[in-house]
Amino acid sequence: MMAKQGASKKSSAKKDSTKKDEVTMTVTKDAEAPAQAADPAAAQQAPGQAAEKSALKTKQSKKIRLTSIAFVESPLQFLSALETHESDEDLLIRARANAKGMTSFLDAFDLAWLPKHVSLERVGAKPGILRKRNFDRIYIGDACSGQVHKALALAYLERRMPEVVILDDGLATYSTIEILTAARGPLVRPRQKLKASRAVMAAHVADRLRGLAPAGKLRWHTALPVSKAMRKAFLKTGAEITRHKFEHLQTLPTGGSHPRDNPVIGSALVADGLIHEDSYRAWLEELMAHGPITYYPHRRETDEFLAELDRDERVRIKHVGLPIELRLVNLPPNSTIRSLPSTAAISLATLNPDVTIAVTEIPPEWWTGASADSLRKSLNAQSVKADVDT
């Protein structure tokens, strides 16, 4: 009898356990059912979208840091990458060291000036690193760079592209934003002619970047003034615009220049074949008629032009390695900097509002005819009201 009772109790326990399991399963299924019914669209989501959202939720719940990479090919692009870096982000800056002016800049730049969680490598855009590592965000300095196009096209041929942030690349940035705002067209610099294969790749990358905008994954981080028309058109695509005022740059101990230096910002317009050299020299002669000047060359100016200019006793040429924004950021109030229309003039006006930036508009007779009317207008349009929205 005792054995039978024991067996009976075991049997009863098994039945109870089974019932409990059945109840548990029923409750679980009933609890999931309303959630599925409430969002039928979620059930039909593409597997890639579901995985992407799941990964994002996991990162948010675990507070995992973002991993980002920046491809830069000029000192200004490099500085812009530093300004866009966020505190919860590990940023790798890949600087194209063989681009003109970059070697001297990188040699002069103190690595102690890098923000925390920012690292630097002296290599450009390569598809290999984009294939090996999954980045949450990509910063692009020159969106028309063939090296950048190749890296993006090969690395994301069959994968979703992460968020992309466009950095300032001088006044040429306006052209890039106009291209990305348009319905179609390759990412190409003004006056640049591409081979057929490069043109196809430039168009492909442009389309991929445009495709990010409706999902809120395309952004422009800028210190440039943005016209209302450009701002409205770019935001209409779904893209975003965020702004900076070189906050990080202003913390760097880069020193300054004495106001009696009479600083003049050199221009690359002669080297680029856009304005006549004799017109540019006449402008410098006019400045020197009021006293000696300190000339800060643009990185694309030729050695021949600078050597000839250096023979004038009224000129002191200052090769600084570092960008002009870093050298002249701490000028005393009431100083005057003279320049033709340039990104540096805009940047310095933002960095030091107490300094006068005397910008000379380029007269029609200076132009060589190698530039489009739109480029001439954009270069001379320095009075555009800055977009203060963030």
* Three-state DSSP state, 333: coil
Q: Is 60 exceeded by the pLDDT of residue 34?
A: no
For 292, phi then psi, to 5°, come to -60, 155
Range 328-344 average pLDDT? 85
Give alpha helix (H) positions in 167-300: 172-181, 196-212, 228-236, 277-288
Percent residues over pLDDT 70 in the chain: 77
Same structural domain for residues 238 and 261?
no
**Confidence band for 44, pLDDT divided at 50, 70 and 90:** very low
**Terminal Cα-to-Cα distance of the chain (whole angstroms):** 84
Dihedral (Cα; 213, 217, 220, 221), 10-degree rounding: 160
**Confidence band for 256, pLDDT divided at 50, 70 and 90:** low
Instruction: Compute the mean pLDDT over every residue in the chain, rounded to the nearest whole number.
Output: 81
- pTM of full prediction above 0.75: no
Range 61-85 average pLDDT? 89
Residue 207 maps to a domain: yes
Range 320-331 average pLDDT? 77
Same structural domain for residues 155 and 196?
yes
Residue 29 maps to a domain: no
Q: Name the one residue in this structure whose structure tokens are 């000029």.
A: 74
Supply 9's token pair.
């109790």
**C-alpha–C-alpha distance, residues 274 and 376, integer Å:** 9
What residues have CB less than 8 Å from 121, skipping those under 6 apart? 92, 93, 94, 95
Q: By residue range, what is the domain housing residue 285?
A: 255-380
Residue 386, pLDDT score:
40
Between residues 47 and 218, the one the model is more confident about: 218
Residue 34 maps to a domain: no
Residue 349, pLDDT score:
83
Residue 222, pLDDT score:
95
Instruction: List, for residues 107-138, the tens digit of each pLDDT value.
Output: 988 899 999 999 999 988 888 899 889 999 99
Residue 285 maps to a domain: yes
Same structural domain for residues 211 and 357?
no
Same structural domain for residues 213 and 293?
no
**Confidence band for 309, pLDDT divided at 50, 70 and 90:** very high
Task: Decide: residue 69, CB within 10 A, 0-12 exposed, 13-18 middle, 19+ buried.
Answer: buried
**C-alpha–C-alpha distance, residues 324 and 248, integer Å:** 15
Same structural domain for residues 216 and 81?
yes
Structural domains counted in the chain: 2
Q: Is 90 exceeded by the pLDDT of residue 360?
A: yes
**Confidence band for 151, pLDDT divided at 50, 70 and 90:** very high
Residue 31 maps to a domain: no
Q: Is 80 exceeded by the pLDDT of residue 57?
A: no
Domain boundary among 194, 221, 250: 250
Same structural domain for residues 242 and 316?
no
Domain boundary among 190, 222, 250: 250
Domain harbouring 125, CATH code: 3.40.50
Residue 3 maps to a domain: no
Between residues 47 and 43, the one the model is more confident about: 47
